[in-house]
Each structure stands twice: as structure tokens, then as C-alpha cells.
Amino acid sequence: MKVIGLIGGMSWESTAEYYRIINKTIKERLGGLHSAKILLYSVDFSEIATLQTEGRWPEATKFMCDAAQRLERGGADCVLICTNTMHKMAPEVQSSVTIPLLHIADSTAIEIKKRGIKRIGLLGTKYPMEEDFYKKSLIDDYDLDVFIPPEDGRTIVNRVIYEELCLGKVVEESRNQFQQIIQDLNARGVEGVILGCTEISLLINQKDSPLPLFDTTAIHAQAAVSFALEDT
């Protein structure tokens, strides 16, 4: 079994889900007392969030590359960035290490293609919704049509993530707002929705949506297990 390297803490609530899902999936696949071999480098999210909001992306990139290098030196066989937003610097992180970076958008797009879906909605922080670093891969590499909410919807989603979910707060009114945003995407002909922030699944699950939901936390974690077990 290979060693899975996780860059976590962004937020710790979603990183705990990665740890749970990876170990649960290993147990389901191998049975008995088996559990995953994991190295976790957990950051102080306050430091990262400050770099994000102040637009200090070169510093954030250096931070993430350092975390990946620490995992590689510790014996990890792959690296996962346990957040969608910080895939903004995924190319630089991959270039900083010799082990593979398992990209969250790749894992998610593969699952979408398996379902035969073409028109996909994307919910996340403002960074993956509004910038190209995430959407471009889905469009160029996987031939998907990507839809995001209008500005007021994007503001709601971003606020709920940072002011509630990242602080461990699950608010019923916010769930209702997310459901309405998904309904609006449905009305635009969208066939499924990416939960493109690893915290969103703490608020919304499949029973809350008329459209298929693609939980990037679960998909990414399961891709890590497949990598870890591919030679066993």
C-alpha cells in the first residue's frame, strides 16, 4: 500500500472528512483491521485565508510547495491538496516535488464523464467559480460546459463557506439558499453540480438536490485510495 500525503487544515473540518473517507474506503476494499497509510501536513488556515483575501498568491504558493516537499521528505508517495481553492497553484506544487499530485478537478471530471454529463454547475469559493484555473481544466481537458451562479448567488456561496462552514457552522437558512441556487442552475439546463469546495458537503447532500451532486471531498479521497492500492 502506498503512503497518501495530505495537505490539510483548509479547513480542518473537511480534512477530517478526507481522513474518515480514506480509511473507511480502505477498510471496505481490504477488510479486517486495514487502514490507510497517511501523512498529514495540516496548516493554520487563518494564515492561508489572510494570504487569499490580500491577494498574496506568490506567498501562498511558496507555502503550499513547502508543505508538499515536507510530505515527500516524510515518505509520501503522492500529494493531495485537501481544498479546491488552493489548486490555484497546483502546477507549481507539482513542479516542486517528484511524486504525483492528484488533482481534485481531474478526479471529479472523470466521475462526471462516467455519468455521461456535459452541462455541469460549479459551486465553490469565488476563486474557482470566477477564475480560470479550475474551470479551464474542466472545459479544455474534459470538454465540459461549466455554469456558475450569477453574482448574487456567488456572493452567498462564498460567504457561507468562509463565515459558516469553515467555522463548523451549519445553518438551515443557508441550506435553503444553496437549494435555491441549485434549482436556478437546473432551470438553466445544468445536468449536475460540482460541490467545488470541500466544506459544502457538510451542508448539502444528494437528498437536498434534484440534480446529481459531485462531492469533491469524497471523490478526491476515493481517488487517493485507488492510487494507494493500484499495485496491491
pLDDT in tens, 47-71: 999 999 899 999 999 999 999 999 9
Band (232; pLDDT cuts 50, 70, 90): low
Q: Looking at the annotation, which residues are catalytic?
A: 83, 197
What is the CA 217 to chain-centroid distance, rounded? 5
* CA pseudo-torsion sign 83, 89, 94, 96: negative
Amino acid identity at 142 = Y
8 A C-beta contact, residue 178 and residue 117 = no
Distance CA 208, CA 182 (A): 9
Owner of C-alpha cell 436556478: 184
- Average pLDDT, integer, range 139-148: 95
Amino acid identity at 106 = D
Could you tell me the three cell numbers for 216?
469533491
* Contacts (Cβ under 8 Å, ≥6 apart) of 14: 8, 82, 83, 198, 199, 201, 202, 217
Q: What is the CA radius of gyration of the chain?
A: 17
Q: Is 149 a residue whose pLDDT tops 90? A: yes
- Phi, psi angle pair for 157, to nearest 5°: -60, -45
Per-residue pLDDT at 11: 87
Q: On the CB side of 206, how many CA atoms lie within 13 Å of its CA?
A: 5
Strand partners, 213: 193
Per-residue pLDDT at 197: 86
Distance CA 43, CA 47 (A): 8
Q: Return mean pLDDT, the chain.
A: 94
Distance CA 195, CA 87 (A): 15
Which domains does the chain possess? Answer: 4-103+219-229 (3.40.50.1860), 105-215 (3.40.50.1860)
Distance CA 50, CA 189 (A): 37
- pLDDT tens string 116-131: 999 999 999 999 999 9
From start to end of the chain, where are the E strands?
Answer: 4-8, 38-42, 78-81, 119-123, 145-147, 192-195, 213-215
8 A C-beta contact, residue 37 and residue 4 = yes
Indicate the pTM of the whole model.
Answer: 0.91
* Contacts (Cβ under 8 Å, ≥6 apart) of 156: 149, 174, 177, 178, 181
Distance CA 8, CA 45 (A): 9
